[in-house]
Amino acid sequence: MVSVKQLYYALAVEKTLHFKKAADMCHISQSTLSSAINELEKQLGVIIFERNNKQVLITHLGQRILDKAKIVKKELDELVEIPQIFSAPLSSEMSIGVIPTIGPYLLPKVLPEVRKEYPDFRLKIVEDQSHVLIDKLRKGELDVVILALPYPIDGLLSLDFWAEDFYWIVHKDDCPDGITEITSAELDVKKLMLLKEGHCLKDHALAACHFQNSQKNSDFDAASLNTLVQMVAGKLGTTIVPQMALDQLIYHESELRAVHLNEPGPHRRISLVMRPNYIRMNEVTLLKDIFAQQLAHKCH
């Protein structure tokens, strides 16, 4: 009979594509891991891994077995968590993915209160782009993902906790006196600098401004909002940032001005996204409420 350990060992090999590294990850000897994989393949009558001295490859049927193994692992992990969940809310570890245009600006505002109310809560944060996080969520490698919507999340459940507009960031020398609002028609698109491809904030900003990607100068694309703001401070152009990030990016820069983008909003929604059958839904709801309260208090 196939054992849980065999499945875990096989998933470790899939992750590392290396038997020695997989054995180290599982804290066992390479010979023990190899024997377990060989026995698993014998029991199933399927070669999962093609291996030689140089590389490990996953066979087509092997990948289907590993995909099923991930489902089994996810269900077993959740089974083990059930007693902890019902003993006290937010008392066990939760892995949360967050995108780079949210994490640095959201987490400092909300985590102190989470820690205050639930001191035993252990939080594992993974930062990456939206498509990577969604893939990890679907595979059960993450419990929850914090995303900016709209974004394709077919088959997943989302709980919105914040909605916000964008602000045009400009050097004071290039900003007309007394201006507090600006429309997309008034922006000089040739001077507009946005994040590079792959960041959903770029897509949201273009959508809010009713711009096509081809309209702007891609020579100024950057990897972070902080870099963009520093480029604005150097009079290299202008950019757009979300309300949540203003206090960290703008208000300490006396040379910069933040002007509200006067286009129909909200320009993006921030949401906790999870699998629809996730067993810790009540705890995610608790986090949503804390996040919403803290942002309402700290973002003006």
Q: What domains can be seen in the chain, in order of their start residue? A: 4-81 (1.10.10.10), 90-161+268-298 (3.40.190.10), 166-261 (3.40.190.10)
Alpha-carbon gap, residue 138 to 164, rounded angstroms: 27
Residue with the two structure tokens 């698109």 = 189
Q: Comparing 72-86, 173-187, 193-207, which segment has the lowest mean pLDDT?
A: 72-86
Q: Are 237 and 231 a contacting pair, CB within 8 Å?
A: yes
Alpha-carbon gap, residue 237 to 151, rounded angstroms: 28
Question: Amino acid identity, residue 256?
Answer: L
- Average pLDDT on 183-200 reads 87
C-alpha to C-alpha distances, 68 to 8, 37, 62, 186, 251, nearest whole angstrom: 12, 16, 10, 53, 50
CA atoms within 13 A on the CB side of 287: 30
* pLDDT tens-digit series, residues 6-32: 999 999 999 999 999 999 999 999 999
Alpha-carbon gap, residue 226 to 210, rounded angstroms: 24
- The dihedral built from the CA positions of residue 43, 49, 51 and 54, taken in this order, carries a sign that is negative
- Average pLDDT on 206-233 reads 77
Q: Are 121 and 72 a contacting pair, CB within 8 Å?
A: no
Q: Are 94 and 122 a contacting pair, CB within 8 Å?
A: yes
Helix pair angle (4-16, 19-26), 10° resolution: 130
Q: Does 108 have pLDDT greater than 80? A: yes
Question: Amino acid identity, residue 181?
Answer: E
Q: How confident is the model at residue 284 (pLDDT cuts 50, 70, 90)?
A: very high
Question: Amino acid identity, residue 178?
Answer: G
Share of the chain above pLDDT 70, in %: 94
Residue with the two structure tokens 């490698």 = 141
C-alpha to C-alpha distances, 226 to 105, 223, 250, nearest whole angstrom: 11, 9, 9
* pLDDT tens-digit series, residues 172-183: 998 888 889 999
C-alpha to C-alpha distances, 67 to 20, 29, 35, 46, 92, nearest whole angstrom: 22, 25, 21, 14, 26
Q: How confident is the model at residue 83 (pLDDT cuts 50, 70, 90)?
A: low
Q: Does 134 have pLDDT greater than 90? A: yes
Is it true that the peptide bond before 104 is cis, omega within 30 degrees of 0?
no
Side by side, the strands of the sheet bearing 256-261 are: 181-182, 256-261, 166-171, 238-242, 192-193
- Average pLDDT on 26-47 reads 93
Which token pair is 277?
Answer: 């059958």
Whose CA is closest to 5, among 30, 46, 37? 37
